[in-house]
Each structure stands twice: as structure tokens, then as C-alpha cells.
């Protein structure tokens, strides 16, 4: 019963979402669902990845839709009735989708470019046999701050995000996993803890932080930090590089002596895909070193394909922030898929923080 | 025979109502009373509503204040428009409508651009040597956003009613010795009551369920019920709790509009447009 209801509802939603793809010009359409600001679309003299793909495969049309967090994407996917051919979620979400049997195994014959992926990023914890996912990019989560307003003496660890001196100038992640991840680093818990008491403690810490938080954000971080409306924000290293092009006062650091999250975003094909082969062609295309290099040049995240580096801006390739030393990288931890109860508890606790309960 | 005809004519609308109002309402009710995991019947979502009562009261308070401010601003405007010549009336009417041609989201974002710490107003203050003001992320900014966005919904029904008030009634009141103030209180105001009531309702209902204005213009602790509902659907992956909240909101809206309309009593005009 529940299924029928949600199906009818979802069908209506999907009709409105993807109404553009009913154009029948003999081409097949693949729906690609990715993070916002996360593919090069021809700005700043960079390549337009989607246009290049459509040029290389004239019989495929790409319908590109974005999400702003893994959780939003998951909610949409799990409501069902949606047709998506390629998704690019983060590590722990890939793990969760595998566990919940929501992904299709990839046919690697259609993805020969997989060979370019560095060994370090193959067979990751979230997909140990590397059956379902191909890394798109990776990076670290650190703190971005504006050196014009933030006293260097305060730049120590994650505590900066709780510093009352900068009340109303601090931004915070608007997704449960990253918000809890930071608190776990601060309190010295594992990033993959399943202990309810530890999660409750994290939630208390987040409630404590709320009065100094200006806004809970995802992609809005770009404008707010570039225009100096906010001075301090935790965010992904790659996006820091994009922002620092616009505002040179912005600095980035990975807290000393504390943990941080090292993440991978990976391309997968969900069960609801209708054009699996075309989707694989698209994934393969993104793994082409030249395309990957051009794409990473714009999104500024780190590529798991070393061969792509020769097609990239040398300044980015040499950046400590994009490609930290192994020593630094080893301080970071990846998120793993958590048991359903833990994820649920974390989401509920985060909602309670946000809703002011 | 005649009765059959009218049934036939209203069929499309009845069908529309069933498909797009009644069935979805049933679905909301169904979700509100089922468990998020098992899909079994449960009162749990309804019981949890108690937790969100503060947000409900806050939403009601904010939207009531906004409706009253809209009334205070909107009434003189509507009165002014209604007493212009026909051409001027059309022009002014269009001016009121004009902002509604632009997306509600854009209009709210424009206020962010004006009010934020690095926004237009503060930059202006700064450039003439004055201190920057904390304009955004205050309760007042949320109310401002609501008033700005919903003011046309107050002015239009008020105008529609005021323009129909028979001028001879006003003349008669004056002939019988009423001062202008008395004329207004005893004649004009009672006659424009239906407009006031439908204006109040039309501002209150969207304002109480709004979710974007408070996120953009309010601080992190001004959480309105619309924000919570949105979050349950979008991030929380718990449509059932979201549905329960929506249901309660709907009931509260009915009760509130009922109370607003009660003020007008059941006078012979009674023509509350909503």
C-alpha cells in the first residue's frame, strides 16, 4: 500500500522533474545526478565536460541534475519512482547504497579507463571488491577562514567553530554526517562511532555551537565566504581553492593534532537506471585522463587518476591543499557506511539540533 | 434536468478537487498515522507533535504580527487607490501586482542582498562613515520579509471591497453630522470588514507555513514550522513526521482563519473572498 502511494506520488514528481527528457530526437537520455558546482561546464576557459561527451557520443543526451548533500540525494532516491542513471555520492553513502541493494554492479568492459585509477583508490573500504563504484574525486574537510578578521592565535583546531569571539560569522555544515564528523574529531571519538552515548554528546556539542552559528549551509558557502559575510566555515578542500581565487584573504587548514575527514566521491549506477550502458560510457568518459584533468582544473578537487595531472594546471597539482603529503593524509579518516540505527539516530539528533528541540 | 446540467459542468472542477486536493489530503493523513519504517499504523508521529509546539506558536505569532502590519500599511494604500480616477486606479493596481510577477525566492534573496552585513545598506552606511547595523538574522528581518512578500495579498482584496463602497453612504453620514473620523469608524470601516478579513486570511495562511523567509532572513534559532516540515521531507527522510506536522498545521490554519472570520460575525455582507 505504502509503495503504491509513494509510487504514484513519485511518478507525479518525476514527471515534473525530468519533463525535459521526453524530447524524442532519436537520442537516448541519461540522467546524471551530482553535487552542485561539481562538474566543469565551460566557465573560466575550462572544458565543458557534458558538451564534450555529447559531442563524442552524438546519440546520447545528458540531463544533469544536482543535489546539495548525500542525505538529500538519498531521500530522493529512496522515495522511489525516480530515473537516474549516474550518481556521484560520497564514500559512506556508496557503502549504504550497496548495503541496501540500491546499486547495479558495473560492467568494467565498458569502462576500460578504470585502469587509470591509482591503486590507492581502488578497492576502497566502502566497496571492497570495487564492483559498484569508480572514484570521481577525493579531498579533505578542513576549516576555511578569512585572515583579515580571524586572529592567527585562534587558528588551532576545530574549536575555532565554537569561538564566541566570531559569533554570527561562523558557518556550519547542513548535513548530519559532516556536522557530526567535526564534533567527533573535536571530542576525540571515531568518525565511524556507533555508540549512542557518543552521538548524544556530539549533539549536545552542536547545540552548544548553535548560538554562534550564522547559518547552516552547503553550496551557499561560496558566496558567503567570498563576500566576507561569514569569516569561518568548515568545508571541502577543493572548494576552498575555488573560493581563494575570488578572495585572496581566505586561508585553509587541517586542524593540528585532531582528526579530519578524508573523503572520496564515487560514480555509481543506481538500480533505477534505464540506460546502463550509456551511463557506463559516461563514467568511462569522466575517467579519461584528459577529461578528468580538465574537469578537476575547474572543480579543484583532487583526482584519483594521476595520469590526469599532466593535463592540469601545475599550480593545482603542486598545491599542498589538493594533494597533501601521505603523512598528513594518514591523519584523516574515511567515513564508512553506518548501521541503519546509527544513521537514523544521527539524523534525528541533527534534526533536533536544527529544529531547536 | 437543469440540476443534471450543472453537475456536468462542475464535473471537471470536482474531478480536479478529488485528484489534487482530496486524495493528496488522504495521503497526508495516511502518512501521518503510519510508521516510517514498517508502514504500520501508529500514533507516535502525532504524539511527537508536542515537541514542535513552540515552533507552531512562533510561526503563528510571526504571521499574526505580519498580517497586522500588512493591514496597517495596506489599508491606507487600498483606500488611496480606490479613490483615484479609473485610469490611475488601473495603473496603481498594476503597480501592486508587479512584484508578484517576480519569483518569491528572488524577492527574498534580494532582501538578503540589501540587509546582510556586507549588503547594500550596510556598505552604504559604511561608506558615509556610519557604523554597520545588525539588520539581517533578526526577528524583525523575518517579519519584514513576510510583510514585503505578502502585502499585495492584503491590498488587493481590500481594494476590491473599498472600491465598491457606495459613496452616497459616506455623504449621508456626513449630512447627518458625522465628523470624518466618525464616518470612517461607523461607515467605511464596517463596510470594508469583509476585505480586512479576507486580506488577513490571505496573508496569514501563506505566512504561517512559509519556510524560506526565515531561513534566509532569520537567525538559526528562529525556526518556523514550515522549515521543520521542509527538513523532514528533504533531509530527514521521515515523510511521516513531516505529514503529521503538515496535518496539524492545516488544522491550526483552519482554526485561526475561523477565529479571524468570527470577528466579522455573520453579517449580511459576509462575502469573505477566500
Quick: pLDDT tens for B59-98. 999 999 999 999 999 999 999 999 999 999 999 999 999 9
In contact, B59 and B208? CB cutoff 8 Å = yes
Question: What does the alpha-carbon distance between residue A184 and residue A104 come to, in Å, rounded to a whole number?
Answer: 32
> Which DSSP state fits B179?
-
Residue A357, pLDDT score: 81
Residue B266 has pLDDT above 80, yes or no: no
* B30 in contact with chain A, both atoms CB, cutoff 8 A: yes
**In B51-186, where do the E strands start and end?**
none
pLDDT tens, A330-353? 899 999 999 989 998 999 999 999
ipTM of the modeled complex: 0.84
Scored b (16 or more CB within 10 A) or e, B2-22 reads eeeeeeeeeeeeeeeeeeeee
Q: For residue range B21-34, what is the model confidence (pLDDT) as tens digits? A: 999 999 999 999 99
Residue B256 lies in a domain: yes
Residue B231 lies in a domain: yes
State how far residue A315 is from chain B, nearest Cα, in angstroms. 31
For position A302, what pLDDT does the model report? 94
Confidence at residue B272, expressed as pLDDT on a 0 to 100 scale: 46
Average pLDDT over residues B223-230: 93
**Cα–Cα distance measured from residue B91 to residue B98, given in angstroms and rounded to the nearest whole number:** 10
Q: Are A132 and A94 in contact (CB under 8 A)?
A: yes
Q: Given this model, what pLDDT does residue A78 score?
A: 85
Bridge partners, residue A215, by sequence: A171
Given a contact cutoff of 8 angstroms between Cβ atoms, the answer to whether A27 and A61 are in contact is yes
**Residue range B106-111: mean pLDDT, rounded:** 94
Asked if B93 and B100 count as a contact pair (C-beta separation under 8 A), the reply is no
How far does the CA of residue A44 sit from the closest CA of chain B (Å)?
25
Burial grade of A256 (CB within 10 A; 0-12, 13-18, 19 or more): exposed
Q: What is the pLDDT of residue A5?
A: 52
Task: Name, in order, each residue with C-beta under 8 angstroms of B189's C-beta and a sequence gap of 6 or more.
Answer: none
- pLDDT computed for residue B6 by the predictor: 82
- Measured distance CA(A297)–CA(A289) in Å, rounded: 12
Task: Name which of B35, B234, B235 to mutate to probe chain A: the one with the most chain A Cβ atoms within 10 A of its Cβ.
Answer: B235
How crowded is the C-beta side of A94, counted as CA atoms within 13 Å? 31
Per-domain residue ranges of chain A: 2-137+263-321, 139-261+336-355
Segment (H or E) for A265: strand A260-268
**pLDDT given for residue B154 in this prediction:** 96
Domain A139-261+336-355 falls under CATH 3.40.50.1820: no
Burial (0-12, 13-18, 19+ Cβ within 10 Å), A129: exposed
Say which residues have a Cβ less than 8 Å from residue A217's Cβ, sequence separation at least 6.
A171, A172, A173, A174, A224, A233
Smallest CA-to-CA distance from A196 within A343, A32, A19 is with: A343
Residues A82, A76 contacting (CB under 8 angstroms): yes
Cβ–Cβ contacts within 10 Å for residue A113, how many? 20
Render A97-141 in DSSP notation, one character per residue. HHHTT-BPPP-GGG-GGGGGS-GGGSS-TTSTT--SEEEEEEEEE
Cβ distance A177 to A345 under 8 Å? no
Residue with cell 534534526: A351
* CA–CA distance, B99 with B21 (Å, rounded to integer): 28
Which pLDDT belongs to residue A267?
Answer: 96
Same CATH topology for A2-137+263-321 and A139-261+336-355: the answer is yes
CB of B273 within 8 Å of a chain A CB? The answer is no
Give residue A3's pLDDT. Answer: 53
pLDDT band with cut points at 50, 70 and 90 for residue B270: very low
- Mention every residue, 6+ apart, whose C-beta is less than 8 A from residue A161: A143, A170, A172, A182, A209, A232, A234
- Residue among B116, B221, B234 minimizing CB distance to A75: B234
What CATH superfamily is the domain A2-137+263-321? Periplasmic binding protein-like II (3.40.190.10)
Contact present, A221 and A171 (Cβ < 8 Å): yes
Q: Which has more pLDDT, A130 or B39?
A: A130
pLDDT of B3 strictly over 90: no
Question: How many domains is chain B partitioned into structurally?
Answer: 1
Q: Quick check: is B126 in a domain?
A: yes
Cβ–Cβ below 8 Å for B232 and A351: yes
User: Terminus-to-terminus CA distance in chain A, angstroms?
Assistant: 33
Distance from CA of A75 to the nearest CA of B (A): 5
Q: Which residue range is the domain that position B71 belongs to? A: 52-263
Q: Is residue B11 part of a domain?
A: no
Nearest CA in chain A to B30: A2
Q: Which residue of B has its CA nearest to A357?
A: B51
CA angle A39, A40, A41 (to 5 degrees): 110
Q: What integer pLDDT is reported at residue A340 of this predicted model?
A: 87
Average pLDDT score, chain B? 90
Question: Under 8 Å CB-to-CB from B76, ≥6 apart: which residues?
Answer: none
Q: Which positions ≥6 away from A294 have C-beta within 8 Å?
A: A40, A46, A47, A49, A311, A312
pLDDT in tens, chain A (357 residues): 455 555 555 555 544 444 444 455 789 999 999 999 899 998 888 899 999 999 999 999 999 999 989 988 998 888 877 889 999 999 999 999 999 999 999 999 999 999 999 998 999 999 999 999 999 999 999 999 999 999 999 999 999 999 999 999 999 999 999 999 999 999 999 999 999 999 999 999 999 999 999 999 999 999 999 999 999 999 999 999 989 999 999 999 999 889 999 999 999 999 999 999 999 999 999 999 999 999 998 998 999 999 999 999 888 888 889 999 988 988 999 999 999 899 989 999 999 999 988
| pLDDT, tens only, B162-202 | 999 998 999 999 999 999 999 999 999 999 999 999 999 99
Quote the CA–CA distance of B169 and B174 in Å, as a whole number.
9
Give the pLDDT score at A114: 95
**Inside any domain, residue B205:** yes
A282 and A295 in contact (C-beta within 8 Å)?
A: no
A244 in contact with chain B, both atoms CB, cutoff 8 A: no
| Cα–Cα dist B208/B67, whole Å | 10
What would the grid cell of residue B82 be? 480606490
Q: What is the pLDDT of residue B54?
A: 92
Note whether residue B165 is domain-resident: yes
Query: CATH code at B90?
Result: 1.10.3720.10
| B273 lies in some domain | no
Q: Which residues of A touch B39 (CB under 8 A)?
A: 1-2
B180 inside domain: yes
| pLDDT at position B269 | 46
Residue B221 near chain A (CB below 8 Å): yes
How far is Cα A142 from Cα A262, in angstroms, rounded to an integer?
10
Amino acid at each position: 500500500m505504502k509503495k503504491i502511494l509513494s509510487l504514484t506520488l513519485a511518478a507525479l514528481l518525476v514527471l515534473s522533474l525530468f519533463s525535459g527528457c521526453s524530447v524524442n530526437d532519436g537520442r537516448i537520455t541519461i540522467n546524471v545526478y551530482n553535487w552542485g558546482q561539481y562538474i566543469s561546464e565551460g566557465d573560466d576557459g575550462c572544458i565543458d565536460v557534458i558538451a564534450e561527451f555529447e559531442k563524442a557520443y552524438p546519440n546520447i543526451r545528458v540531463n544533469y541534475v544536482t543535489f546539495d548533500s548525500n542525505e538529500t540525494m538519498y531521500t530522493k532516491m529512496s522515495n522511489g519512482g525516480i530515473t537516474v542513471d549516474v550518481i556521484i555520492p560520497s564514500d559512506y553513502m556508496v557503502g549504504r547504497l550497496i548495503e541496501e541493494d540500491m546499486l547495479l554492479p558495473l560492467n568494467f568492459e565498458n569502462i576500460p579507463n578504470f585502469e587509470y585509477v591509482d591503486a590507492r583508490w581502488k578497492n576502497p573500504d566502502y566497496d571492497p571488491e570495487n564492483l559498484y563504484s569508480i572514484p570521481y574525486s577525493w579531498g579533505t574537510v578542513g576549516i576555511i577562514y578569512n585572515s583579515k578578521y580571524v586572529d592567527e592565535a585562534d587558528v588551532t583546531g576545530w574549536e575555532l567553530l565554537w569561538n564566541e569571539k566570531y559569533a554570527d560569522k561562523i558557518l556550519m555544515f547542513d548535513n548530519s554526517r559532516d556536522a557530526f564528523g567535526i564534533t567527533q574529531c573535536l571530542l576525540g571519538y571515531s568518525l565511524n562511532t556507533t555508540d549512542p552515548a557518543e552521538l548524544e554528546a556530539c549533539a549536545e556539542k552542536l547545540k552548544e555551537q548553535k548560538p554562534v552559528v550564522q547559518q547552516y549551509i552547503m553550496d551557499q558557502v561560496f558566496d558567503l565566504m567570498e563576500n566576507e559575510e561569514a569569516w569561518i566555515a568548515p568545508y571541502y578542500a577543493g572548494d576552498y581553492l575555488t573560493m581563494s581565487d575570488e578572495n585572496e584573504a581566505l586561508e585553509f587548514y587541517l586542524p593540528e593534532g585532531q582528526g579530519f575527514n578524508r573523503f572520496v566521491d564515487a560514480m555509481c549506477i543506481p538500480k533505477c537506471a534505464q540506460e546502463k550502458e550509456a551511463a557506463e560510457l559516461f563514467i568511462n568518459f569522466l575517467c579519461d585522463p584528459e577529461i578528468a584533468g580538465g574537469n578537476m582544473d575547474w572543480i579543484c578537487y583532487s583526482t584519483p587518476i594521476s595520469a590526469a595531472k599532466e593535463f592540469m594546471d601545475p599550480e593545482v597539482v603542486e598545491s599542498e591543499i589538493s594533494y597533501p603529503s601521505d603523512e598528513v593524509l594518514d591523519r584523516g579518516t574515511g567515513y564508512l557506511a553506518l548501521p541503519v540505527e546509527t544513521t537514523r539516530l544521527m539524523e534525528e539528533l541533527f534534526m533536533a539540533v536544527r529544529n531547536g528541540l | 434536468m437543469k440540476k443534471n446540467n450543472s453537475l456536468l459542468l462542475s464535473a471537471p472542477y470536482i474531478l480536479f478537487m478529488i485528484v489534487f486536493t482530496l486524495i493528496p489530503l488522504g495521503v497526508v493523513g495516511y502518512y501521518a498515522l503510519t510508521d516510517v519504517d514498517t508502514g504500520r499504523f501508529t500514533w507516535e508521529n502525532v504524539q511527537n507533535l508536542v515537541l514542535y509546539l513552540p515552533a507552531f506558536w512562533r510561526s503563528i505569532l510571526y504571521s499574526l504580527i505580519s498580517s497586522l502590519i500588512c493591514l496597517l500599511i495596506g489599508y491606507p494604500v487600498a483606500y488611496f487607490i480606490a479613490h483615484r480616477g479609473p485610469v490611475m486606479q488601473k495603473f496603481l493596481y498594476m503597480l501592486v501586482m508587479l512584484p508578484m510577477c517576480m519569483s518569491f525566492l528572488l524577492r527574498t534573496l534580494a532582501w538578503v542582498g540589501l540587509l546582510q552585513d556586507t549588503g547594500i545598506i550596510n556598505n552604504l552606511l559604511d561608506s558615509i562613515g556610519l557604523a554597520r547595523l545588525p539588520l539581517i538574522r533578526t526577528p524583525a528581518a523575518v517579519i519584514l520579509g513576510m510583510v514585503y512578500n505578502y502585502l499585495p495579498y492584503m491590498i488587493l482584496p481590500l481594494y476590491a471591497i473599498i472600491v465598491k463602497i457606495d459613496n452616497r453612504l459616506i455623504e449621508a453620514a456626513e449630512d447627518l453630522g458625522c465628523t470624518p473620523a466618525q464616518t470612517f469608524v461607523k461607515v467605511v470601516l464596517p463596510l470594508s470588514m469583509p476585505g480586512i478579513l479576507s486580506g488577513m486570511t490571505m496573508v496569514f495562511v501563506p505566512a504561517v507555513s512559509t519556510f524560506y523567509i526565515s531561513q534566509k532572513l532569520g537567525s538559526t534559532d528562529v525556526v518556523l514550522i514550515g522549515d521543520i516540515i521542509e527538513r523532514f521531507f528533504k533531509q530527514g527522510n521521515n515523510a511521516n513526521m513531516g505529514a503529521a506536522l503538515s496535518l496539524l498545521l492545516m488544522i491550526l490554519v483552519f482554526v485561526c482563519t475561523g477565529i479571524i472570520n468570527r470577528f466579522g460575525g455573520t453579517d449580511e455582507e459576509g462575502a469573505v473572498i477566500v
